[in-house]
Structure formats: structure tokens, C-alpha cells
Amino acid sequence: MTPTEHQPTYTIGQAASMVNTTVKTLHYYDEIGLLRPSKRTEGGHRLYSAADLWTLELIGTLRYVNFSLEDIRKMISGELSMTEALNLQIDALEVELGAISSMLAILKQARQRTIHNSSEDSMHYIADLVASRSAHSVKRQQFINNKIEETKLLEDLPEDWQASFMHLFNKYIMKESKLTARQTQAWIELQKLMNDSTYMEELASCELPFFRMALHPQHQAHDWIGQMEQIRLRTLEAIQHQWPPSSPAVQTLTHDFLLLYANVEELGQPDEFIPRQARHLLDSVTERILRFNKLCTIVNPEWQDITGGMELLMQGMQALLAKKRNN
């Protein structure tokens, strides 16, 4: 009999009671793969070990400080380091703090106004204050257009390729949606970031292969957008199936993604272009670019599909280059 067989186990009801949660929650954690019980009875009933209970306590603690279940899953599995997770959460909470400060200022101004005005007038005043601070899609689009024109980032590209460059950003960040206070705060920081000339230089450097390709493209602009959308869907599938970066499916996906940045001449030399483009993209990821993506995810959570896919592709590039070094 092994030592582990002597260790006590607990039913799902007992485990839920011991960690102050519900049976429904433990069922859900099992379903999503966050925490599966160490054992089951012959009848299939869940049995939790002391180690399982400790993990459940840890999950509860991390939830208390507002970590998402997905981030907790990544931390438990080792996909996300503690340092990375803490940095992500601190960044998110700093944005949240700014949003709370903004809302507090609005409410204090409104309270001051109620001293000398009617309730109806004060309600209109609150609406005006919120409207003055909000950033609806037209305002956001105007800011982006002005910034692109000011920096001349896309001036050498044909109009259809300029639209291609902005496609994903327009699709996800310029959606017709009213921003919450937290999203507005993230948008304010996004504007500051895009007003930073260093960030715009880093963006231009990162996207240099796109600019080269767009001047001598292998595809029409609308076809390129369609293929990029297919890449996005394939990365989502890979993430859902938890395929490793070195797997044939992810390596094929990475290969196809990199080739979308090849111009007509480079397309004829894939063995040279693919590793060169992989190294360029990996070297181009800066703290500002990572921050930009975090803020975009706050403005619209759907942006996570983009960043999650890019993370997988970056890991695929690292595996590709490692394999090339070892051959």
C-alpha cells in the first residue's frame, strides 16, 4: 500500500464546507479544468485530498485579490509565472484605481452642486460630467486618425493597405459601445501611450515587415485580412485544445502566420525569411507594446483573443528557432 493511500480524502460536500465555498463552484472548477479532484470513488463521486484543499484555498485567495479564473489556471499549470501574474494584476488594479478616482471626482462635484440646485438640475449635471469624460467611438476614431496623420506612420502605403493595418484595431477598439469608467481610464492611458514618440517608433519598428510587404504584396489587401482572420480562428482552436507550441499544428500555424508578412520576393525564400521574421517579431516586443495590449483588453475584453493568439504564436516562434538551432 502506497503512502498516498493512507492520506484522508473528503467528499465534495465536505471539501466545499472546509474551504467555505459551494458544491456548485467545485463542480465548475472540475468542468473547466481549474481543479480536478485527486480521486473518485468506484461510483464516480469526487474525493478531495489535503493538497486539493490547499489548492482550493489558494484559488479563493487569488480570487479575493481579483485574479481571473483563467489567470489562476495558468499560474497553477505553470503557463504564467507568479511575477508575470502579479504584474498583470497590479497593472489592472492601477487602472481600476484611476477609474475610481475619476468617478469619485464626478460624484463630489455633483454633491457640491446639489447644495444650490434642484435634484433634476443635478442629475443633468452628472450626465454632462460623465459625457465630458467619456470616449465614444467617434472620439476614439478621431484621435486615432489624427495620430496616424500626425506621425505619418502609414503615408507611404496604398489606401487599401492602410485600412488593412487598422483593421483589427478598428474592429475591436472602435466598436460602437459606451465605455465604463474603468474602460475610459484605460483609453486615457492608451492616448498617453500613443502620444509617446518612443512607443510610436517601437510600433513602426515592429511593423516594418508589414510595410515592406504592403509595397510589394503577395495578396490583395482584403484577401490578407481574410487570411489573418483565419489565423486568429486557428489560434483560438489551438488554445482551446491546449496544443503545445512545438506541436505540428502550432508550428504549421506559426509558419503560415510569418509568411503573411513576406513580400513577393521574400515569399520565394521561405527558409531565410521565416526565421528572420520570427527573430524580428520576438525582438520587437517591448514593455510599451505589452502595456498597449493590456489596455486594449480593458477597453474591449474581446481583444484578449488577439493577445492570447499572439502569445501562442510567439511561443511557436521560439520553438521554431530553437529547433533550427538544434538542427
Angle of helix 221-241 relative to helix 248-259, nearest 10 degrees, comes to 160
Q: Collapsing DSSP states into helix, strand and coil, what is residue 46?
A: strand
Q: Between the CA atoms of 52, 54, 56 and 61, what dihedral angle is there, to the nearest 10 degrees?
A: -160
Largest CA-CA distance found in the chain, in angstroms, rounded:
80
- Kindly report the pTM of this predicted structure: 0.66
Looking up cell 504549421 gives 252
Q: Give kind and range of the element (H or E) at residue 18.
A: helix 12-18
Q: Between the CA atoms of 86, 90, 91 and 97, what dihedral angle is there, to the nearest 10 degrees?
A: 160
pLDDT of residue 1: 38
Beta strand spans in the chain (E)? 10-11, 39-40, 46-48
Question: CATH says 3-79 is which class?
Answer: mainly alpha
Q: Are 169 and 145 in contact (CB under 8 A)?
A: no
Cα–Cα distance measured from residue 291 to residue 6, given in angstroms and rounded to the nearest whole number: 49
| The three three-digit cell numbers of residue 2, written as one number | 502506497
Cα–Cα distance measured from residue 259 to residue 268, given in angstroms and rounded to the nearest whole number: 10
Q: Are 305 and 285 in contact (CB under 8 A)?
A: no
Q: What is the pLDDT along the chain (327 residues), one digit of tens a residue?
A: 344 556 788 999 999 999 989 999 999 999 888 899 988 888 888 999 999 999 999 898 888 877 888 888 888 888 878 887 888 778 777 777 776 777 787 778 777 777 776 666 777 777 766 666 666 777 788 888 888 889 899 989 999 999 999 888 888 877 756 777 778 888 888 988 999 999 999 999 999 999 999 999 988 999 999 999 999 999 999 998 889 999 999 999 999 999 999 998 898 899 999 999 999 999 999 999 988 988 888 888 888 888 889 999 999 999 999 998 887
